[in-house]
A and B are shown apart, each in its own frame.
Chain A
Amino acid sequence: MSISDSDFIQLRDFIYNICGMYFHTTKKYFLESRLSRRMEITGTKTHLEYYQFLKSPRGSEELKYLMDEITTNETYFFRNVPQLTALETKLLPEIVETKNKMGFRKLRIWSAGSSSGEEAYTMSMMLLEKRSTLLKDWIIEIVGTDINETVISQAKEGIYNAYSVRNIPDLYKRKYIKEENGKFLLSPEVKKFVTFNKLNLYDDSKMIFMKSFDFIFCANVLIYFDTASKSKVVQHFYNNLQPYGYFFVGQSESLHGVNDKFKTVHFPGGFTYKK
């Protein structure tokens, strides 16, 4: 069923206000197809009826399923290109310069909600490429955390399917990926910088020990939290970030109304948050 402009706007605003994810008009048809699946499962007949179901007390559970459909719940390497370009062009050189001045040659990166590890390993590959130049003699620590132990073991294994690796630039693919029987294996040097641990972002007693990060990534995770939990978790990220560090959320995500301390830093195709 095709979605009317007014139904689309109503639903888009609802998703934005509750989850902090914006649906671009260009993605209207995508939303439409995802909605039709959920409408079939929930037995709702019209978009309006589905929207009312989402708003009802039983809707919070359904919203999680909808977000799963929308984010496709799948990740891949080199997913957010504008973000990576900004890191390479400006943010990383800037932090390296700051830390060089302090004589503190260690880089700490956190992929929060690391799933099967693609984001953490993407960073590892990018930084490996700078081992002989910008990051010569630097210590690199990349930490991936997730609440789900199954995906953590997958991440530790470092074996991927063709879908996951499809966006990796050839240069990186040649150097760091080996294909075996249709599976793609990461080279040991990429895995060397990265550790994966189980962590519940709600767990204050653990969160306070995740200290001194230069970059924190948390894409498509906060959209599942209610506003109060979001605020609490984001405050932890804020505290755990170096004063000159950057905090990244996923494409189309927003922290508006969640934390008013972070400042936005804009770059072509995206933005990041800074203290």
Chain B
Amino acid sequence: MDKLAMIQRAEELVGTIEDLPTIPVVATQVLLLLDQPEVKVEDVADLMLTDQVMTARVMKMVNSPIFKPGHDITSLRLALVYLGLKHIRELALTTSLINAFDADTGDFQISAFWEHSFGVGMVSKIIAEKIGYPDLEKAYIGGIIHDLGVVFLSQYQREDFQAVLDRIKDKPIKLVDAEAELLGTTHCEIGLCMARKWNFPEVYCELISQHHTPAEATIDPVLCAIVNLSDLFCGVRELNYGGREWVSFNLSDEAAWQILRNEAPNLANLDIERFCYELDDAIPDVKALVRSIFTSHEQAGD
């Protein structure tokens, strides 16, 4: 299907929603502050502390097994020092996104969505490291936000999206193919429209739009390939929305694999089998992280 037509359809759908969640002002301010030279941890901490929900979530996330601190981190300032300023951007953005989308709708379990998203974030970071991609944080954020369009569909197009899920249940049909057929657009274009509305940087807009078609990316095809591959691996290793989509792929046929191998020829020696098994071992950490985020949400009384 024509990409432009699908984007147009997505714009129509996203445009009809008046109460589309917004990204909190604090998050935008934190991102702006971090862009300034010589920013101080104290300033960032002060700004973040004005948003209690964000603070609570950052504290939970930094103490989760995925970040593996040696001891409990008890203050936001310590958390920011421990993580380093680079990570604050990712935390500000992700905690805000979680804030925007934190409720189950119908059969759609939001925690399963976040497990997949954080899983893809984690695996993207690992792959980025393996191929020597210069910005690990970008790969991590990319993984976390790649499927934003899915939440939109599950919340604002519930019945139509359910029909898509029914169509692919236990069948080797790709979610994007069923979406294109039944909705005239996919979560990639929907996500793109949302990202544009929220003024995400272009590189993330492209990532969301092309995470299933990395060969068509022009700004950062390597980033799109990293997230595409992570998405595929998470889809077959229990970070797959509870098996909603029956994913299967021949690794050597994947465009993402070709892109990354061109980028880093040493990838040909990767022990793929062990990579999969180690991914299994990391799943409990990802699930614990998501659980901790939602616990902090309850504690904050939101």
Contacts and interface: CB of A to CB of B under 8 A. Distances in A.
Interface string B216-249: 0000000000000000110111101001001111
Interface string B34-52: 0000000000000000000
Size bin of chain A's contact surface: 20 to 34
Interface string B239-283: 010010011111110000000000000000001111011001100
B171 interface: yes
Given A90-B172, A268-B236, A268-B240, A22 B274 contact: yes
Contacts of B240: 268
A274 B233 CA distance: 18
Interface in A249-273: 252-257, 263-271
Nearest to A266: B236
A119 B251 CA distance: 27
Contacts of B72: none
A256 B273 CA distance: 7
A25 B65 CA distance: 15
A89 interface: yes
A265 B250 contact: yes
Nearest to A91: B248
Contacts, number: 73
Q: Which bracket fits the contact residues of B? A: 20 to 34
Given A24-B280, A24-B281, A265 B251 contact: yes
A269 B274 contact: no
A256 B236 contact: no
A61 to B, nearest CB: 26
A256 B274 contact: yes
B50 to A, nearest CB: 40
A16 interface: yes
A235 B170 CA distance: 34
Nearest to A265: B250
Interface of A: 16, 22, 24-26, 86, 89-90, 252-257, 263-271, 274
